[in-house]
Structure 1
Amino acid sequence: MLEILGEAARRMSDDFRQAHPEIPWSDIIGQRNVIAHQYDNIELEQLWSVVTSDIATLITQLEPLISSLTPEIK
């Protein structure tokens, strides 16, 4: 799931990401890159924190933005 989330974040336009600096785009994309390419460098405590805490906050931040996306992005 985190890998898919990171890939989706990477595919958002630069304009959209810049318009929403409250979303930690670089962190999301960076985490995806570690999971996909540097699995031997995954810090399990950090990953657990993302799953148990950060995801809930991120969902709260992203839900209002979904309606502003064009249909092909949704």
Structure 2
Amino acid sequence: MIEAAEQALAFTQGRCRADLDGDAMLRMALTRAVEIVGEAAAQVSEAGRGELPAVPWPQIVGMRNRLIHAYFDINRNILWDTVLLALPALLQQLRATPGKG
């Protein structure tokens, strides 16, 4: 989860929201990175989730499902906000727990 989240954030360095509309490679990269975060979250056991109760597990997995199953109907604003607003907080939570991610 950590690696994919870090990659998503790296993809946005020096970029703005408008770039997401005009750059198919950026869209694909961010979509795939967020999918990977969600897939990894889906694999975390209930015990593991219990160690990080503040992490919004259902929302992370739900985002992954939305990206996978409704690929041609992705709200780019939500994707962008997820990367720039939600992933930094998620990374902070994951890094605060040794052995996670």
TM-score by length of 1: 0.80
User: Which stretches of structure 1, 4 residues or longer, exceed 4 Å deviation after superposition?
Assistant: none
Match of 1:48 among 73, 80, 85: 80
- How many residue pairs get aligned? The number is 69
- Residue 50 of structure 1 and its aligned partner are, at CA, apart by 0.6
Q: CA RMSD for the aligned pairs?
A: 1.5
Query: Is 2:47 aligned against 1:15?
Result: yes
Question: Deviation at 1:24?
Answer: 0.7
State the one-letter code of the partner of 2:47: D
Relative contact order, CA 8 A, sep 6+: which one is greater?
2
Identity of aligned residues (%): 35
Match of 2:50, SS state, is helix
Can you list the C-alpha shifts for 1:10-49, whole angstroms capped at 9, x where unaligned? 0000121133220011111011111111113311111110
Alignment gaps of 5+ in structure 1? none
SS at match of 1:15: helix
| Structure 2 contact 52–93 (Cα < 8 Å) conserved | no
Superposition TM-score, scaled by structure 2 size: 0.61
